[in-house]
Amino acid sequence: MLELNATKVVTEKLALALTAPQTSIRGQMANGGVMPWRGRATLGWSKDPWSATLFCNYVGTYENEPLPGRPDSQVTCWTTFDPDPGFDVGAIYHSGFLQNTRLSLSAQNLFDRTPALVLTSGARLSMATMQTFSAGSSHCA
């Protein structure tokens, strides 16, 4: 099994007031901007009771919010891999309480790649967990 999903944001505009001109926020995290590219690929295999799936997640390049005293910064693309091997116990035990049981061991971010941080004027947002951290706090992924 092979599955590919990708999202390309062509345009994303915001007006701060009804009479204000619209400005593009595509690829800029300030003001609620969105990632220009985001994708996920899935590669799966199965044979008898065994199965394995590998997910590849991609987030494209974007701009961090310009902050006073800090130049604009571009955050490079980010790719992670999530494996999910499994075993169908029900293929061996056709009756009883194990007949519909599947065991799997999933991992997210297999190679422990540090996620990008979205810098804003009051907080930081981890792209891995979408958690907000207050300014001045430390975060280790």
Interior angle at CA 31, CA 26 and CA 34, nearest 5: 30
For 11-49, write each residue's pLDDT tens digit: 777 777 888 888 776 666 655 566 778 899 999 999 999
- Taking only the tens place, the pLDDT of each residue in 42-62 is 999 999 999 999 999 998 887
Average pLDDT over residues 113-140: 50
Collapsing DSSP states into helix, strand and coil, what is residue 30?
helix
Specify whether the CB–CB gap between 81 and 110 falls below 8 A. yes
pLDDT at res. 109: 92
Measure CA 22 to chain center. 28
Q: State phi, psi for 102 to the nearest 5 degrees.
A: -130, 135
